[in-house]
Every structure is written in C-alpha cells, then in structure tokens.
Amino acid sequence: MARRERRKFTDEFKAEVVTLARSSGKSIGEISRDLDLTETAVREWVRRADVDGGARDGLTRWRDRNSGRL
C-alpha cells in the first residue's frame, strides 16, 4: 500500500471533528471513514481536547509549547 502524503489540518477543523465525535453518536471509526481521516488522528484530537479542557490529566497544548521557556 502506498503511503499517503502527510496532511495538515487547522485547529478549527480539528475542533469541528472533536465536536462531531462527541455529539454525533457515531464511533471514532465511523467518523474517521466518513471524513477520510485516520482513527489515530481523531482519537488524538479528542484526547488532546479533553486535556486542554481539563477533563483529563496531561499537559495542555499551551504548556506543551512553552515547556522549554522560562
């Protein structure tokens, strides 16, 4: 199978996918297939949104990006 070129998605698109995953009643797999995305990417976006929203432990994106700065 040929490897697909890496795609980039905006934060707004990712947020829309997360909202869809939470509200549609569809599985992550169904959403991924419908939108031609990998399940891994969608799961990571949902996990990251949970961390950023405080619903899950972990570093927020802001802390992740700025962890090297003092």
Which tokens belong to 14?
């990712």
Alpha carbon distance 59, 21 (integer Å): 22
The per-residue pLDDT for range 9-52, each reduced to its tens digit, is: 999 999 999 999 999 999 999 999 999 999 999 999 999 998 88
Which tokens belong to 11?
């934060």
Domain boundaries, the chain: 11-54
Predicted TM-score (pTM) of this structure: 0.71
CB-CB neighbours of 17 under 10 Å: 21
CA-CA distances (angstroms) from residue 31 to 18, 34, 35, 38, 41? 10, 5, 6, 9, 11
